[in-house]
Amino acid sequence: MNRYYQHQARPGWGPSFAGTMVAKLIAANVVVFLLQGLFPIITDYLALTPRFVVERLWVWQLGTYMFLHGGFIHLLFNMFMLWMFGATIESVWGPRQFLRYYVICGLGGAVGSMIFNYNAHIVGASGAIFGLYLAYAMMFPNHRIYLYFLFPVKAKYLVMGIAAIQVFNGLTGPAGIAYFAHLGGMAAGLLFFKSDVIQRWRFKTGPQKKWRQYMNDRQSESDTAGQGNIDSILDKISEKGYDNLSEVEKRILDNYSRNRRDGPE
């Protein structure tokens, strides 16, 4: 795996968050959920029913289902996960790239459902959210996430465990949960990271092209930084986004990531 920046996630609800793609997606999901309550027929037409996609050609359901939810708790959990992981990912990728990835993972969830849940009625952003889990683990594999707010687990191991649970439950678990939509979202995310074709499209323009150069650059850098510098750089990413870092700050962050990766874990 190419090198990714390691940092402490610092998502927030400040003024800078309001204009992010994550905030817009949360708002869209909340608005659609309210409309579901007012006009229940919306769910019948926009939820994913694979049989209807094939037999009635209701192809829009492949995308619309990810903005619907089956209840308040379902919505709350998915939006919390979108904020928790998505804010950090967007701060590195930027809004356009983040939206591309989110939609691709949501479509991957739809494909997984088409294959394994042909007669099901599926709603929820979980396919896209599970794709965000995958992206976070790929980008920040050694960052520790507190499971149940108590137990620190490295992101890469946590996501491996999540994927294994989804496979097991998909094969043996009770009906009513779209496990294969979750796996489809993760599979789409993995394809997004690994496919050379998608990589070329993914980093076609702007800041993403620069980031790809950093990912592929294995030249030795002489810059070093103390933990204090790293913390200030991470705070700047949280407040203003990765694109607002200076070239020197980017090199410092790159060196820190490489040293963490190559050193003992």
CATH of the domain at 148: 1.20.1540.10
Burial of 64 (0-12, 13-18, 19+ CB in 10 A): buried
220 in a structural domain: no
CB 48 within 8 A of CB 113: yes
User: Which pLDDT value is given to residue 251?
Assistant: 72
pLDDT less than 70: residues of the chain = 1-15, 173-176, 196-229, 247-248, 255-265
Contact 125, 48 (CB under 8 A): no
Q: Are 137 and 244 in the same domain?
A: no
Which positions are catalytic? 126, 182
Query: Distance between CA 207 and CA 199 in Å, rounded?
Result: 14
Q: Which two tokens stand for residue 25?
A: 């997606």
One domain, residues 260 and 156: no
The pLDDT of residue 176 is 66
Cα–Cα distance list, 209 to 11, 94, 204, 213, 216 (Å): 24, 12, 6, 7, 11
Claim to verify: residue 61 and residue 165 sit in the same structural domain:
yes
End residue of a domain, out of 167, 183, 208: 208
Are 62 and 53 contacting, i.e. CB atoms less than 8 angstroms apart? yes
| 144-165 per-position pLDDT tens digit | 888 777 788 898 999 999 999 9
Residues 176 and 242 occupy one common structural domain: no
Angstrom distance (rounded) from CA 182 to CA 163: 8
**Is 216 a member of any domain?**
no
Same-domain status, 173 and 244: no
* pLDDT tens digits for range 67-99: 999 999 999 999 999 999 999 999 888 899 999
Q: What pLDDT does residue 43 have?
A: 94
Q: Do residues 137 and 262 both lie within one domain?
A: no
* pLDDT the model gives residue 67: 97
pLDDT computed for residue 196 by the predictor: 53
Regarding whether 155 and 48 lie in a shared domain, the answer is yes
Q: Is residue 22 part of a domain?
A: yes
Same structural domain, 89 and 148: yes
| Residues 194 and 229 both lie in one domain | no
**Do 235 and 242 form a contact (C-beta atoms < 8 A)?**
no
What pLDDT sits at residue 132?
96
Name beta bridge partners: 122: 48
pLDDT at 231: 73
Q: Give the per-residue pLDDT at 206.
A: 42
Same domain, 168 and 129: yes
Q: Are residues 183 and 265 in the same domain?
A: no
Domain that holds residue 238: 225-265
How many domains does the chain divide into? Answer: 2
- Do residues 32 and 147 share a domain? yes
